[in-house]
Chain A
Amino acid sequence: MRQHDQPAGRGVAAEAVLAVAPVAGASVSTLGGFLSPETIDASDDTIARVDELQFDLGEGPCWDAVTTGRPVLEPDLRGRPGRVWPAFSRAIAESDDVAALFAIPLQVGPVRIGAIDMYDVRPGALAEADLLRTIALAAELSRTVLRQVIEENGLGEAPLAARPRSRRRIHQATGFVIAQLDVSAADAELLIQARAFAEGRTMAEIADDILTKRRRFTVQGGEFEEER
């Protein structure tokens, strides 16, 4: 599962989760919104399989975490499930090494980009301090993962825009996004870049959509939608 020749994120993200949370295994994946479901890093085959199952079935804790923007905690998945997913719950019942399952959303500002999945072999709740540490780590991982997905697709190396006048528009649009979402300039720019990546367009084109108020990021869930 590890791919050691990959840059930061892959090969280290799951390890980072294990360093803050006492669980048997962890994975970091992109899903929901505009990124296709993909496991970026997994500490073992079990959690990689849990991810795959959820991606295939289109349901499970990681999907709910991304949809709601809140952690999904199942300390006793098979014995006393908090919620039941029609297909996923049935499938996971056959896997006796996953007793507890936790999913933490990854988001940059309000824009959701994926989830951390963690499992344990015995039932048991995650201590509050461990949960808080994992949520703090998720904030950092979100940027790393998003930046990496963009870079791996060859967009990161390109300059912001070749022409100064396009750059100026991108900086102004960055200001719009700062005001819309109350995020840092670096995050705002990253979100414009991610949007460009997702739509196969340039940052300058996305910037124009934002500046001409055709589209905006929403505070709820960070969707990038048409303005009415």
Chain B
Amino acid sequence: MSETSRETGLLDAFATLADTLVADYDVVEMLQVLVDTCREVLDVTAVGLLLADPDTGVLDLVASTSEESRIVETLQLGAEAGPCVDCFRDGRAVLVPDIDATDGRWPDFHAAAASQGFKGVFAMPMRLRNQTIGALNLFRAAVGDLNARDLRAAQALADVATIGILHERSFRANDVLRDQLQGALNSRVTIEQAKGVLAHRHQVDMDEAFRMLRGYARSNRVPLAAAARGVVERRLRL
């Protein structure tokens, strides 16, 4: 990607993210825009965003550039014992330019990543002041460092998303944060159920089912979670 188109892509991304941060914005859609943007403008092949459950602290995948189950599993393994959970726990970026060189530190994650052809992984904390709420994970198909500009851009995108979730203006109220996080995680439950309904009804895979759901939400200008709820409650037939 050329310099100019990259800059344009990034600017568009920030503008889109800013647009989503109006009242009653769709958190899940905003995070989906974020991961898709990362893959488009950064030198990476797959991106996943994980948020921690406010009660258990367990990281759960909320948005990813693919819903394909093997990729999803790799992302989640990274959140159980892998760079993602380390990044979340320490609130610092964890940069792994060569997964093969991690010497069995995360065997399950390593095996899953290798099976998907991922050679490097870069985990960015989703953090505001002293609070870390999740992590943004970038995967590359080639060994090597992510260049400094891409790293800065990724962290900036993660920060915008974090602010979006924490909703700056009500940031101080702890239970609001909890509600926002829980809302995003619960939306994901409904989205998974809706994907199941569509995958079964149309005999398609989860990736295609997600595209159908998102396509409907976008063209009808309804939040992704609302479209998912309609499908699950059998009010909306896609």
Number of A-B contacts (CB under 8 A): 67
Q: Are A171 and B193 in contact (CB under 8 A)?
A: yes
| Complexed CA–CA distance, A93 and B59 (Å) | 63
- Majority secondary structure, B binding face: helix
Contacting residues, chain B, for A165 (C-beta < 8 A):
61, 72-73, 76-77
Partner of A178, one of B61, B79, B234: B234
Contacting residues, chain A, for B59 (C-beta < 8 A):
164
- Majority secondary structure, A binding face: helix
Check: B60 CB closer than 8 A to any chain A CB: yes
Check: B42 CB closer than 8 A to any chain A CB: no
CB proximity of B31 to chain A, nearest CB, Å: 15
Q: Are A185 and B72 in contact (CB under 8 A)?
A: no
Partner of A168, one of B72, B198, B233: B72
Also in contact, A182 and B234, with CB within 8 A (given A172-B196, A175-B200)? yes
| Complexed CA–CA distance, A211 and B189 (Å) | 16
| Complexed CA–CA distance, A166 and B79 (Å) | 13
| Complexed CA–CA distance, A180 and B58 (Å) | 31
| Complexed CA–CA distance, A185 and B80 (Å) | 27
Check: A84 CB closer than 8 A to any chain B CB: no
Partner of A164, one of B76, B232, B234: B76
Q: Are A178 and B232 in contact (CB under 8 A)?
A: yes
Count contacts on B: residues with CB < 8 A to the other chain.
27
Q: Are B80 and A174 in contact (CB under 8 A)?
A: no
Write the A182-193 contact mask toward B (1 if CB under 8 angstroms, else 0): 101100100000
Check: B194 CB closer than 8 A to any chain A CB: yes
Check: B192 CB closer than 8 A to any chain A CB: yes
Write the A19-37 contact mask toward B (1 if CB under 8 angstroms, else 0): 0000000000000000000
CB proximity of A227 to chain B, nearest CB, Å: 12
Q: Are B189 and A171 in contact (CB under 8 A)?
A: yes
Check: B212 CB closer than 8 A to any chain A CB: no
Q: Are A176 and B234 in contact (CB under 8 A)?
A: no
Contacting residues, chain B, for A211 (C-beta < 8 A):
196
Check: B199 CB closer than 8 A to any chain A CB: yes
Q: Are A175 and B195 in contact (CB under 8 A)?
A: yes
Write the B167-205 contact mask toward A (1 if CB under 8 angstroms, else 0): 000000000000000000000011011111111110000
| Complexed CA–CA distance, A136 and B186 (Å) | 31
Q: How large is the interface on A (under 10, 10 to 19, 20 to 34, 35 or more residues)?
A: 20 to 34
Write the B63-97 contact mask toward A (1 if CB under 8 angstroms, else 0): 00000010011001101100000000000000000
Contacting residues, chain A, for B58 (C-beta < 8 A):
164
Interface residues of A in 177-221 (CB under 8 A from B): 177-180, 182, 184-185, 188, 211
CB proximity of B193 to chain A, nearest CB, Å: 4
Interface residues of B in 85-122 (CB under 8 A from A): none
CB proximity of A81 to chain B, nearest CB, Å: 41
| Complexed CA–CA distance, A162 and B116 (Å) | 24
Interface residues of A in 144-184 (CB under 8 A from B): 163-165, 167-169, 171-180, 182, 184
Contacting residues, chain A, for B69 (C-beta < 8 A):
169
Q: Are A171 and B196 in contact (CB under 8 A)?
A: yes
CB proximity of A188 to chain B, nearest CB, Å: 8
Check: B17 CB closer than 8 A to any chain A CB: no
Q: List A residues at the B interface (Cβ < 8 Å).
A: 163-165, 167-169, 171-180, 182, 184-185, 188, 211
A164-B58, A164-B79, A165-B72 known; 20 new pairs, CB 8 Å cut-off, are A164-B59, A164-B60, A165-B61, A165-B73, A167-B60, A168-B76, A168-B192, A169-B69, A172-B196, A174-B196, A175-B199, A175-B232, A177-B196, A178-B197, A178-B232, A178-B234, A180-B200, A182-B234, A185-B190, A211-B196
Interchain Cβ contacts under 8 Å between A and B, 11 examples: A165-B73, A167-B189, A171-B192, A172-B193, A175-B196, A175-B198, A175-B200, A176-B196, A176-B199, A177-B196, A188-B193
Q: List B residues at the A interface (Cβ < 8 Å).
A: 58-61, 69, 72-73, 76-77, 79-80, 189-190, 192-201, 206, 232-234
Q: Which 8 A-B pairs have the closest CB atoms?
A: A175-B196, A171-B192, A165-B76, A179-B200, A172-B196, A175-B197, A164-B60, A175-B193
